Structure 1
Amino acid sequence: MAEIIRIAGAPDNNAEPQSLPRNIEAEAALLGALMIDNRLVEDVQLKLRSEHFFEPLHGRIYDAILRMTDKNMIANPVTLKPMFDADETMKEVGGAAYLAQLTGSGAAIIGARDFAQQIYDLALLRSLVGVGRDMVEGALDTSEDVAPLEQIERAETELYRVAEQGGGEGKAKSFGEATRLAVEMAQKALNSGGHLSGVTTGLDSLNGKIGGMHKSDLMILAGRPGMGKTSLATNIAFAAAQRFVRDQEDGIDPAKSVGAPTAFFSLEMSADQLATRILAEQSGISSENLRMGKISQQEFRSLARAAAELENLPLYIDDTPGLTIAALRTRARRLKRQKGVGFVVVDYLQLLQGTGRGSAGDNRVQEISEISRGLKQLAKELDCPVLALSQLSRAVEQREDKRPQLSDLRESGSIEQDADMVWFVFRGDYYLAAKQPADDHPDFAAWQEEMQRIYGLAEVIVAKQRHGATGKIRLKFDSRITKFSDLAEEAYLPEHR
C-alpha cells in the first residue's frame, strides 16, 4: 500500500507546495470492499465515477469492476487479473498481487458507503482548486485582451458546474415519489382557488387556460411590433412578484406560494423605462405623461404612494445589452442563489447572442437554436418557469387575417420545438387603426363602428401547450397605462377556439 501511495502522491508533492485533497487509503479500501461484495456497487455507482479517484490506477480498477458487474459477472482479483496484465502502473506496484492486497481487510465493507462519499467530496474539492487556479492564472495573464467581467462570468459558470455535481446524483423516481409530487401540485391548485398549480400570470382567464406557469417550463410569448409583448410580460412579472409578497404577508409558506421573486432580463428597454411602465400601471397615470412630467400634484402624490408600496417588490431588472446566453444563465443562477428567484423573463430572445462568433446566414439559425435550447436548460436547472419574448416574421403582414401562427416564429423552428408553451398576443384595433379612411369617406362610419367594437380588446392565443388544450383568451388592453386585464364578461362567454 505504501508503494502505491508514493507513486500517486510523489509528483504532486514535488511540484506543489501543498498537495491536492485526496485519501488514497479510502480509495483502496473501497475497491477492496467492492471486490469482496459486488452488491455494494449498486450503492455507489450512481454518484461515484472513475474520474473521482485521485489515483488513476484506482479509477481504472473501479471502471473494470463496473464493467464486470454490468455483465452480471463476478468482479474479484481473479476475474479482473486479465484486464490488468498489460497495465504498466499495476506492474510497478506488484502486478495482480496488488488486487488481492486490496481485499486484505474485510472490515472495509462496513464503511464502504462512507469511503465512497469521502472520495466524492475530495474530488469536488480538487475541482474547486482547479477552478481557483484557473481564476488566478487568468487574472495574472495580461497577454491577451483584459476582460475581467468575462473572466468572472466564466468562473461563476465553472463554480456552478462544480456545485451542480455536488447537488445529489440523478436517479429515477419511484412511482410513489412521482405520485406525491402530483398530489402536492393538485393541493397547490386547490389552495389557490381551484385552478392554479404554477406561478400566477395575474390574469384569471389566462391562468384558467394554462393552470399557471409551471416549474422547468419554457414559455414563448411572441407577437409583431406594437402588439404589447413587453407590456404583457411586464404585467405578468409584476403580478408574480406582488403575489409572492402578499402570500408572505398572509403567512403562506414560500414553497406553497403561487407567486415568485422575479428576474427580468430587458435587452431592449432600460430598467427605468420598465419601472415607469409599472408605476403607470399601478398609479393609473399615463406613462407618456409620466415621462414628460405632465402630471398634477394629486397625481404625483399617487405616484409617490405607488412607488413606496413597490419599493420592496422582489422584481429584479437586468438591462445589460448584448448578453450572451451563457452570461444570462450565469446571472440568472446568481439571482436564484442570492435572491431566491423563482421566475425568469427575457425580453427578447433575438437580442441574445450565442457563444459562437458568427451571426449571419445559416449561423444565425444555429445561434437561435442554441439560445432557445439554453433557455430551456435554464428552466430545468433553476427548476422555475422561464418566459421568453420572441419576434415574429413579416409573413403575418402579408395575410388578410393577421393572427399569428406557429410557422411565423422567426429564424428557427427550434423555438417551437424547445418551448413547452407558445403564446401569441394579437390586437385587432392596431391593424384596423392603420386602415382608417378619411372622415368624408363612405366607409368611415362602418370603420368607426368596427373600431368601437374592438377598441381596447386583445387576444392571447395559446398555440402550443404540453400540459393542456390550445385556444385563445380575450383580454382588455389599456394602451394609456400599458396594462392588460381580464374582461369582465369573460366568464360568461363560450370558450373561444
Structure 2
Amino acid sequence: MISNNANPHNVEQLRVPPHSLAAEESVLAAIMVKNENLDVVASILSENDFYSRANRTIYGAICEIMGNAQVADIATIPDYLRAKGKLEDAGGDTYIYGLARSVASAAGLTTYAQTVRQRAMLREAIAAANDIQEQCYNSTGHDAIEILGSAESRIGEVSERLLTKVQDYSIDEAMRATVTEIEQRLKSGKEIAGISTGLPDLDARLNGLEAADMIVVAARPSMGKTTLAMNMVTTEALRDGGRPIVFSMEMPKQQLMYKMLSSLGQIPISALQQPNKETGGMNDILWSKTSGVMAKLRQKNMEIIDDAYMTIPRMRLEIRRFKKRFGNPTLIMADYLQLIRGTTKTDNRTNEISEISRGIKALAKEFNCPFVVLSQLSRNVESRNNKRPVNSDLRESGQIEQDADKIIFIYRDDVYNPNSSDRGLAELNVTKCRMGQIGMVGSAFRGEFSQFCPLAHGQQIVGEEGKPKAYSDKFEVGE
C-alpha cells in the first residue's frame, strides 16, 4: 500500500504503460493460423509496437521466417528462435504453443492490430512527455521558445506516425494516379508543375518550384543570393493565392522590403535607402511609385521574420502560426542555412549543418510547399582560376547536396572582373534538378533595382572562352 505521503513521482513510476496483451496475442495467433494475415498486420504494425518482449520477439521471428519464403507456424517458429538463441526471450515453447491453440478471429484482425498500434503510440507520447519535462527542468542555456518548438515537433511526430498508414499500390493503381496528375496539369494550362521563379528560362529548366522541394540557392558573397531569392518571393506574393513566408537571420526586414519595393516598382534602391541624397534621392515621382507598390503589397498574405536566433523547431512553430492566420504557405524562404542554429549539442559543425539540412527538407515535406534556402560556399572557390561554383563547394556539409532537390549557383563574372564583357549579366547554373533539367540559364542583373530579369532578345553571355554560351538549346536530364 502506498502512503498518502509518498512521492508523487514514485507513484508515476509504478504506473503500467498503456498496452493490450490480449490484442497482441490475437494478432500473433491469427498470423500463425494463417500466414497470409501478415499482409494486413505489416501495413499497420512494426516489431517495436508490441509491448510484451515475448510478443515482440515472436513477431520479429515470423517476419524473418516469412521473409525467407518459409511457413511460420507452431513447428518452425520455436526452431527458428532456438537457433537464434532467442527462445527464452519469446517465453519458450509452452507460450508459443499456447498462442497457436488460442482462438483468433480473422474478422477482427485489423481492429486488434490498430489497438496494438494505438497503445504503442500512447507509450511513445508518454516517453516524449517525459523528455519534454526533462528539457524544461534542465533548460539552462536553452531558449524557452526553442524548447516549446522541440516539444511540439516531438508530439507532432508521434501523431503523424499514428495517422500514417502504409499503402501498397499495384502498377495499375500507380498508373491511374499518374494519369490523373497529368490530366490535372493539362487542365491548369500551366507550362510548369511548380510555382514561378519570375524568370521563364529558369522556370523551364526547373519545372518551377515544386511542392515539397528543397531548393538551394548558393553563391559567394555579393553575387546576389538574397536578391534572387527575394525576386522569387515577390513573384509568389503577387500571384493570386500566393502565401510566402521569409526567415531572415542576416538582414533586417526593412532591408528585404527595400529589395521588394525596388524590384517591383523599378525604384532605385539607393533612393529608398538614402532618400535625402541631393542626387539620386527620393523625389515626388519615385515616392508616388513607392506608395503604389506598398499599397499593393499590403494586401498580400506574406510575413518576414527577422531573428538571428532561429532553429528548425522555431521555424515549425512560426510556419504553423502563419498557417492558422493565412493558410498553408505556398513558399518558404530562409536566408541563410549556415545561420540557422542546431538543437543537438555537438562540437562538430558538419554534423550540425547536416541536422539543419535534414530539418529543412522535413519542413518542405511537412508543409508540402517549396523551401528555398540560401547557402554559403567554401572559400576554396576563390583559389581557383575558374570561380564558377560546383556542388562540392557547398560549405560545411555534403548533406546539403544530398538533401536538396534542386541546386542553383549564381555566378557574375563582373564581381571578379569589373571590365568583363559579361558586365551586368549572371549565370544561374542548375547543377542538381530532380524532375527537371540541369544546365546554365542566362540572366541580366540590375543591381540598382535589386533584380534578376530575362536577357534581352538575342543577348548572350560570352563566358570565359570569349564565345557565346548556349543556355537554352541543350538540356541534360537530372535525376
Q: Same fold (TM over 0.5)?
A: yes
Contact 1:188 1:196 in 2 (8 A): no
Gaps of 5+ in 2: 1-8, 277-281, 461-469, 475-479
| C-alpha deviation, 1:235, in angstroms | 0.7
Q: Calculate percent identity across the aligned residue pairs.
A: 31
Q: Distance in 1 between matches of 2:291 and 2:135?
A: 47
Q: Distance in 2 between matches of 1:88 and 1:286?
A: 74
Q: Which residue of 1 aligns with 2:338?
A: 350
Contact 1:262 1:342 in 2 (8 A): yes
- Choose from 138, 150, 155 the match for 2:151: 155
Does the residue aligned with 2:410 lie in a helix, a strand or coil?
strand
1:100 aligns with 2:89: no
Q: Which residue of 2 aligns with 1:442?
A: none
| C-alpha deviation, 1:123, in angstroms | 1.8
Q: Which residue of 2 aligns with 1:57?
A: 54
Q: Where do residues 282-297 of structure 1 align in structure 2 (5 Å cutoff)?
A: 282-294=264-276, 295-296=282-283
| C-alpha deviation, 1:221, in angstroms | 1.5
Tell me: CA distance 1:142–1:342, structure 2 relative to 1, closer, same or farther (3 Å). same
Q: Where do residues 81-480 of structure 1 align in structure 2 (5 Å cutoff)?
A: 81=78, 83=81, 87=88, 90=91, 96=94, 99-100=97-98, 103-106=101-104, 108-139=105-136, 141=137, 144-145=140-141, 147-171=143-167, 173-187=169-183, 189-191=185-187, 193=189, 195-243=191-239, 246=240, 248=241, 261-294=243-276, 295-296=282-283, 299-324=286-311, 326-327=312-313, 330-331=316-317, 334=320, 338=324, 339-354=327-342, 357=345, 363-397=348-382, 402-433=387-418, 454-480=422-448
| C-alpha deviation, 1:152, in angstroms | 1.2
| C-alpha deviation, 1:53, in angstroms | 2.5
Contact 1:262 1:344 in 2 (8 A): yes
| C-alpha deviation, 1:381, in angstroms | 4.8
Contact 2:409 2:430 in 1 (8 A): yes
Give the residue type in structure 2 aligned to 1:458: A
Tell me: CA distance 1:297–1:271, structure 2 relative to 1, closer, same or farther (3 Å). same
Q: Distance in 2 between matches of 1:61 and 1:405?
A: 51
Aligned-residue CA RMSD (Å): 3.7
**Cα shift readout 1:82-135 (whole Å, capped 9, x = no counterpart):** 5489637847xxx716743664324x2111011111221222223223323433
Gaps of 5+ in 1: 1-11, 249-259, 436-446
Q: Distance in 2 between matches of 1:162 and 1:200?
A: 35
Tell me: CA distance 1:96–1:277, structure 2 relative to 1, closer, same or farther (3 Å). same
| C-alpha deviation, 1:285, in angstroms | 2.6
Aligned residue pair count? 446
Superposition TM-score, scaled by structure 1 size? 0.76
Tell me: CA distance 1:143–1:350, structure 2 relative to 1, closer, same or farther (3 Å). closer
| C-alpha deviation, 1:358, in angstroms | 5.5
| C-alpha deviation, 1:333, in angstroms | 6.5
| C-alpha deviation, 1:283, in angstroms | 3.0
Q: Distance in 2 between matches of 1:384 and 1:343?
A: 6
Superposition TM-score, scaled by structure 2 size? 0.78
Q: Distance in 2 between matches of 1:142 and 1:377?
A: 27
Q: Which residue of 1 aligns with 2:463?
A: none
Tell me: CA distance 1:322–1:400, structure 2 relative to 1, closer, same or farther (3 Å). same
Give the residue type in structure 2 aligned to 1:427: R
Contact 1:237 1:315 in 2 (8 A): no
**Cα shift readout 1:392-412 (whole Å, capped 9, x = no counterpart):** 344544556554444544444
